Amino acid sequence: MAERLYTTLITCSLDGQAHNVTDESVAAGREAGGYEALCGHLIVPAPMIAPIGQSCPDCTAVLASQEPDPIPASGRRPRHRKRGWLWWMLHPNGVTVAGATAHLRRAARDPRDHVPGPAPISRSSG
């Protein structure tokens, strides 16, 4: 399987098209100010404030040929995806909101799970 290409869209000020440029090409052309796109076009970048131009069809074709097959070798798609880092950041204890709500409802129904609070203050005149 081919290694995945990591690219950045950079609009060329010469032809106005947005070309896919590999990270390695950006690093290599940083001092020169020009980058080589996947299609072989030498890019003179437009200002970053300029809107992204129309995608280069040649770069798109190169990327499409590099895409890995989405179906694994077993012929079956995985049923579930592994939870990502954002999920774990939002749920540090690994409990979803629905799971926490169900736990609280179960605790409210079961008196053995009740944690007693402070005793109520009685106001007797004396």
Is residue 31 classed as helix, strand or coil in its secondary structure?
coil
Count of alpha carbons within 13 Å of 9, Cβ hemisphere only? Answer: 12
Using alpha carbons only, give the angle 86, 89, 94 rounded to the nearest 5 degrees. 105
The answer, yes or no, to whether residue 18 has pLDDT greater than 90, is yes
Q: Looking at the domain assignment, is residue 87 inside a domain?
A: yes
Q: Looking at the domain assignment, is residue 41 inside a domain?
A: yes
Distance CA 38, CA 65 (A): 12
Query: Does the model's pTM come out above 0.85?
Result: no
Structural domain of residue 88, as residue ranges? 82-113
- Write out pLDDT tens, residues 42-81: 999 998 888 888 999 999 998 888 766 566 566 666 666 7
In this structure, the answer to whether residues 87 and 60 fall within a common structural domain is: no
Instruction: Please count the structural domains in the chain.
Output: 2
